Amino acid sequence: MRLKIGKTLSAFAILAASASYAHAGDVEVLHWWTSGGEAAALTVLKKDLESQNVGWQDMPVAGGGGTQAMTVLRARVTAGNAPTAVQMLGFDITDWAKEGALANLNDIATAEGWDDVVPAALQKFSKNDGQWVAAPVNVHSTNWVWANKAVLDELGIAQPKTWDELVAAMEKVKAAGKTAVAHGGQAWQDATIFDAVAMSTGGPDFYKAAFVDLDPEVLGSDTMKEAFDRMSVIRSYVDDNFSGRDWNLASAMVINGDAAFQFMGDWAKGEFINAGKEPGKDFLCFRFPGTQDQVTFNSDQFALFKQGDAVSSEQGALAKAIMSPAFQSAFNVVKGSVPARVDVSDEAFDACGKQGMKDLAAASKSGNLYGSAAHGHANPASVKNAMYDVITAHFNGEYDSETAVSELVTAVEIAQ
């Protein structure tokens, strides 16, 4: 099965590499925003550019974690046919910048005052050697729980605030014959849950030591084994048909009342909103129990690839549109994330959005804002992917927790 998927993906990448260049006056944008809520959010940017007579040539590559999109991108660049702009996360931006493939946006950034409004944690990825190479669209936080309020009310379940309360809630849902946890069996989704579980289990110092500092003693600790044990508990509350399920289909299970909880980043909210649901009335949003004071984040950014000796007018228009306060508000209201700029009002945001902006500001101020290991903001792609393999193998029952800890230490050591 893996070989077949790999061959299909390689063929697609080759096809993508032979795609035509964007027409003059257009921007060709490679991205993986293909779900309903994501597509609605992207339309905001398309319309903004259309109002400036800049056309949009869409290059969507399905796959919520962006892995497939990066494969297609590599093929395009190798063929000498780079897109105008590419949605990227974290260390992927840094890697491409080091290859000298990205355009220098310093003139635009200086004129627009980006340094004054973008948090330093995001600039770490937006810049390379002091040079702006990407425009951040948003800040997503990954340690959220999404819950169907009607299901919880029917079963008399209060919002869980501790791990033990979460386990009790999941058990009550399962006992009622319902699916407790909606999940998609894809490596990045498994790792997204593990992000929250690890932070909840060991706290922020443990999280940083393990996933940012890659301390082998912490990676191989009893606390890490407990985190894997907790993943086994969650696995017992996932339905049997989870393998290969896309994240938005898991969200739909919660939206439709077929499941009680989903552990997913705040992009899930876009699916609830797109389905006409209201926070507090139809669904609940809250931090994964035990991580109420921490925020693990990723940031979607558009990296602009060199198209010549200078940034084109179309690229400049795209970068300015992305960073405009009006767009940052309009886009993130629809997307479920919060603005990458700190000077954007929360007036247009719903209750979950307001909470997300409040949590982000508090975590940033207290030093509890951490790049998500599952989403390429804690360590380079080679390490992230090595962790994916171990986390997914454990979640699928290939390793017990003790073996998973040992394999994690080895995998990280080899990947560095």
* pLDDT, tens digit (0-9, with 9 covering 90-100), for 94-103: 999 999 999 9
Domain ranges of the chain: 2-139+299-351, 144-296+370-415
Using the predicted structure, report yes or no on whether residue 144 has a pLDDT greater than 80: yes
Amino acid at 170: M
59-62-68 Cα angle (round to 5): 90
Q: What is the pLDDT of residue 21?
A: 46
Average pLDDT of the chain, as a whole number: 91
Is residue 125 within 8 Å of residue 377, measured between CB atoms?
A: yes
- Token duo for residue 204: 């922020």
The predicted pLDDT at position 121 comes to 86
| 37-51, 142-156, 274-288, 340-354: range with lowest mean pLDDT | 37-51
CATH topology identical between 2-139+299-351 and 144-296+370-415 = yes
C-alpha dihedral, 269 to 273 to 275 to 280, nearest 10°: 80
CB 247 within 8 A of CB 186: yes
pLDDT at 44 over 90: no
Question: What is the phi/psi pair of residue 265, to 5°?
Answer: -65, 170
The reported pLDDT for the residue numbered 23 is 52
Lowest pLDDT segment from 87-91, 133-137, 383-387? 87-91
Segment (H or E) for 273: helix 268-274
- With residue 31 as reference, give the H or E element that holds it: strand 26-31
- Say whether pTM exceeds 0.85: no
Task: Quickly tell me which residue has 């990227």 as its tokens.
Answer: 88
Q: Which CATH architecture has domain 144-296+370-415?
A: 3-Layer(aba) Sandwich (3.40)
Radius of gyration (C-alpha) of the chain in whole angstroms: 21
Of 238-242, 276-280, 305-309, which gets the smallest average pLDDT? Answer: 305-309
Task: Decide yes or no: CATH 3.40.190.10 for domain 2-139+299-351.
Answer: yes
- Tokens of residue 16, six digits: 């993508």
What stretch of H or E contains 352?
helix 351-366
Cα torsion at 75, 81, 85, 90 (round to 10°)? Answer: 30
Question: Confidence class of residue 24 from pLDDT cuts 50, 70 and 90?
Answer: low
pLDDT tier for residue 119 given thresholds of 50, 70 and 90: confident
Which tokens go with 121?
């944690």
Cβ-contact 142, 372 below 8 angstroms: yes
The CA distances from residue 150 to 134, 174, 270, 276, 401, in Å, are 42, 15, 19, 15, 35
